[in-house]
Copies of this chain bind each other. A is one copy, B any other.
């Protein structure tokens, strides 16, 4: 836990049951509908998130050069100023759909704006699902109208929005935190959907966060960037960046009178609370990773730079050999240190230490004595550690004071089955 987290912990309170998280902050409503973009009749596939008052907003988008129409539109709308609503459909990503796709994304913003009584450029649009298929706009139109008609601030409606944005996820993903100091209080709530390529054809990571804190757009943007770096950008299921990734936050200030969050300590507290929400959501994505049986945390410490630590953590997290070894519950330190070794980052074999679930297995260029000597008690202890559902790998580089953490899951037969048996 970073020191700022410890320091601020007394003021921020994770909400144990986050059901309805996205409408927990004051002044936010959610509405959902099923309009037939998904085939499962029992599901929801359209959601609107709405704030009574226009919000300071920030968002981060996929860096994939093949980028979906709603991403392009939302990027433009975000530039114009305040945001009042986000409309999200699942079942169709509206990606690789050319000019018609761009037109359809704009139409989604127009219908939502009309229903919500706001300007078109105050609406963000997000889509997730199959790519390369044009949206059925009759269905989309009915879906938005229907979702708008049942907008409300009950937890039930918030939770339905979380359900409406998922595709093949096995779980709904929500998180919320309440911040209380002597001077003020506010809530941050967030929802997200499956990572990497969880949806049948092409996945998309979407995340939406609301808060009733009062905060400027610039500060919000800086905090979101930091939070996403330490959460959504620190997870990988298969290393495949999607075409639709988007994380957006809306802050309406509804619960804070007076001036906006601007003092250093107040910003740090907001950052801590936001990190909690984004990290909780990011971990839920990994736990629900395709075919996942293990949750893996990779801590790279004592690196010469933060960048080096990140690069090494990512290479280890993406190595199919590391992921299959952990699936097989084998403490294959050789695969782990060699993945670190081929990362494009500073590493000195003779200073490197590796701990697996706090057990030192590799020390200064060689496996520990207990391994070389095939010590039976040590091997038993290690085997037991590998049977845990959560595996932590700590690579200590001995080169500096920087660190990074990545979360990933294992590679299983389930992963191959899901991705080889699916047909477009």
In the complex, what residue of chain B is closest to A352 when comparing beta carbons?
B66
Report yes or no: B240 in contact with A332, Cβ–Cβ below 8 A: no
Q: Please report which residues of chain A, range 80-110, place their CB below 8 angstroms from some CB of chain B when the two chains form the complex.
A: 95-98
Chain B residue at smallest Cβ distance from A414: B416
Residues on B with C-beta less than 8 A from A96 are 334, 337, 349, 362, 365-367
**CB-based contact B419/A416 at 8 Å:** no
Q: B342 touching A423 by the CB < 8 A rule? A: no
Least CB distance from A287 to B in Å reads 19
**Residues of chain B lying within 8 A (CB to CB) of residue A365:** 96, 98
Q: Does A134 contact B (CB under 8 A)?
A: yes
Which of A132, A332, A420 has the most B CB atoms < 10 Å from its CB? A420
**In contact, A321 and B197 (Cβ under 8 angstroms):** yes
Interface size class of A (residues with CB under 8 A): 35 or more
Cβ distance A310 to chain B, nearest Cβ, rounded Å = 15
- Contact indicator B65/A327 (Cβ below 8 Å): no
A54: interface (CB < 8 Å): no
Once A132-B333, A335-B202, A372-B132 are accepted as A-B contacts, the answer to whether A412 and B416 lie under 8 Å apart by CB is yes
Q: Could you tell me if B132 and A66 are in contact, using CB atoms closer than 8 angstroms?
A: no
A240 and B349 within 8 A (CB): no
B422 pairs with A342, CB closer than 8 A: no
Given A197-B335, A238-B321, A240-B342: A97 touches B330 (CB 8 Å cut-off)? no
Contact A420 B202 (CB under 8 A): no
> Is there a chain B Cβ closer than 8 Å to A328's Cβ?
yes
Picked from B197, B239, B337, B415, the residue with its CB within 8 Å of the CB of A66 is B337
* A→B interface (CB under 8 Å): 63-67, 95-98, 131-134, 197, 201-202, 238-243, 318-321, 324-325, 327-328, 330-335, 337-342, 347-349, 352, 362, 364-367, 371-372, 411-413, 415-417, 419-424
Q: A67-B349, A96-B367 are in contact. List 13 more A-B contacts (CB 8 A).
A: A64-B338, A67-B341, A95-B334, A96-B362, A98-B365, A197-B335, A240-B319, A240-B321, A320-B411, A324-B419, A411-B420, A413-B413, A413-B417
